[in-house]
Amino acid sequence: MYRVAVIKGDGIGPEVVDSAIRVVNSVTDRIRFYEFEGGFEVFKRIGSPISEDDLKEIRKMDAILFGATTTPFNVPGYRSLIVTLRKELDLYANLRIIPDLSNGKEIVIVRENTEGLYARDGIGFSDRAIDFRIITLEGARRIAKFAINLAKERNSFITFVHKANVLKGDRFFREIVLEIAEREGVEVREAIIDSFMIKLVKNPWDHGVILTENMFGDIISDLATIHAGSIGIVPSGNYGDEIALFEPIHGSAPDIAGKGIANPIGAILSAAMMLDYLGLNGKVVWEATRRYVRYGNLTPDMGGTATTSEVTKGIISEIYSFD
């Protein structure tokens, strides 16, 4: 039996996570879900977005399924739940898959999530401010290994995106990536971040597994999202050495919360990534979703008139139609 922590969160979070759980339960009976509370409401009560006791329990789980939480603007001392979990659980690899569900193509982005420009606070003086961009041997190695293993699994190659012609950190990172890739027999193509952004707009689908550091990954992964039919279909995983957290990339979408029309596909595909991580059958969920999208009524963000529940049921009946 696998143990999965569930944090549904705010807005449409609970609606889409319930869909994802229904889909998982239609694929396997080897997962038990444990629900935890977290986010801004918890912060208002206890001054932290999640309690110490809950965090301790969550550490013992095999994976986490996450919905979405609101991050209020400008609340002193508030660190969002997702940022807290990434830090506490050392979830260093952020994997975002942007699918074109009509033809099976994907943009696959691996972003380093613990180093680079965001790892440390900068320092400000009266006449200047300095930020630090940190790339360590250990940090570069673990993310390179993660991406290279993924490329292997997918029979694909790496596109390593950097600015090594200018930045020392990227030259350091590049050496490590090239060395591990050679040892593992994985092809590495290289791209400079600025010109790569143009490629990503014009020809997004043929870059294998895109690997990059934290800030470049932040920008690339948001830009790439424009190629998904809707923000509501994009899944992601945050992986550490002990545990991984899976979440759709969309936010809590307060404008449509409670209406029953949220697109559940991002959460469902996040659950598919979780199944793959646990060694269970995520592929069947991807395939069922692609099939459903081909003929099924979709939610309004994709031009349809379906409810969250109708799309979920449609995908589940596709799953039952496999044997």
Tokens (6 digits) for 34:
């444990």
Tell me, residue by residue from 244 to 283, as one string, x for binding to ligand ATP by CB under 6 A and - for no binding.
------xxxx-xx-----xx--x-----------------
Q: How far is the CB of 18 from Mg ion (least distance, A)?
A: 21
Q: How far is the CB of 293 from ligand ATP (least distance, A)?
A: 14
In terms of Cβ atoms closer than 10 Å to its own Cβ (0-12, 13-18, 19+), residue 172 is middle
* Number of residues near ligand ATP (by CB under 6 A): 17
How far lies 311's CA from each of 130, 293, 299, 315, 317, in Å?
49, 9, 7, 6, 10
Identify the residue whose tokens are 């590049």: 174
Residue 222 annotated in active site: yes
**Cβ nearer to ligand ATP, comparing 211 with 256:** 256
250, interface contact from Mg ion, ligand ATP, none, CB < 5-8 Å by kind: ligand ATP
What residues make contact with Mg ion under the rule CB under 5 A?
A: 251
Q: How far is the CB of 301 from ligand ATP (least distance, A)?
A: 4
Q: How far is the CB of 12 from ligand ATP (least distance, A)?
A: 6
**Cβ nearer to ligand ATP, comparing 208 with 248:** 248
Q: Is 29 in the site for ligand ATP (CB under 6 A)?
A: no
- Residue 16's nearest CA partner among 292, 291, 258, 255 is 258
CA angle 121, 126, 127 (to 5 degrees): 95
Per annotation, catalytic residue among 121, 127, 194, 206: 194
Residue 163 annotated in active site: yes
Task: Report the half-sphere exposure of 100 (CA within 13 A, side-chain side).
Answer: 12
Binder to ligand ATP among 17, 27, 64, 68 (CB under 6 A)?
A: 68
Positions touching ligand ATP (CB under 6 A) are: 12, 16, 68, 70, 231-232, 250-253, 255-256, 262-263, 266, 299, 301
